[in-house]
């Protein structure tokens, strides 16, 4: 088994979570989020976003809404959509709240208490 090089644990959703993404400070467009960690997330979109582009992403986890800034660090084409890796640029307070919500989510997910 390969070595886990991630700094933070990652929550993988059973079904993609709906989110919104803003590029170039423009309007928010829909995306599908597949997993989230305190350090970033993976999403897919039909948008063509350049690597290292600054973006804003909005999504819900349980009862909390997050609006996070970050940049595109990975990009791969899958048919007519593109899968992206986004790295967050967040402060300690936001990081702590996201960590807490991801932990609650993962506990509920393992216990089968989520209606996804």
Tokens of residue 46, six digits: 């039909």
Closest by alpha carbon to 46, among 73, 8, 80?
80
Instruction: Please check the confidence at residue 3 and state whether its pLDDT lies above 70.
Output: no
**Calpha distance 32→46 (Å, rounded):** 10
Inter-CA distances, 97 with 12, 18, 29, 66, 68, Å: 18, 20, 24, 9, 12
Give the per-residue pLDDT at 85.
97
Give the per-residue pLDDT at 1.
41
Structure confidence by residue, pLDDT tens digits, 33-82: 999 999 999 999 988 899 999 999 999 998 899 999 999 999 999 788 89
Give the per-residue pLDDT at 5.
54
Structure confidence by residue, pLDDT tens digits, 92-112: 889 999 999 999 989 988 888
């Amino acid at each position: 088994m390969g070595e886990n090089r991630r700094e933070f644990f990652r929550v993988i959703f059973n079904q993609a979570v709906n989110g919104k993404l803003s590029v170039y400070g423009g309007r928010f467009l829909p995306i599908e989020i597949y997993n989230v960690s305190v350090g970033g997330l993976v999403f897919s979109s039909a948008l063509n976003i350049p690597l290292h582009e600054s973006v804003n992403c909005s999504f819900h986890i349980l009862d909390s809404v997050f609006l996070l800034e970050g940049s595109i660090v990975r990009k791969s084409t899958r048919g007519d959509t593109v899968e992206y890796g986004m790295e967050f640029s967040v402060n300690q307070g936001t990081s702590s709240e996201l960590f807490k919500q991801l932990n609650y989510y993962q506990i509920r997910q393992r216990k089968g208490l989520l209606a996804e």
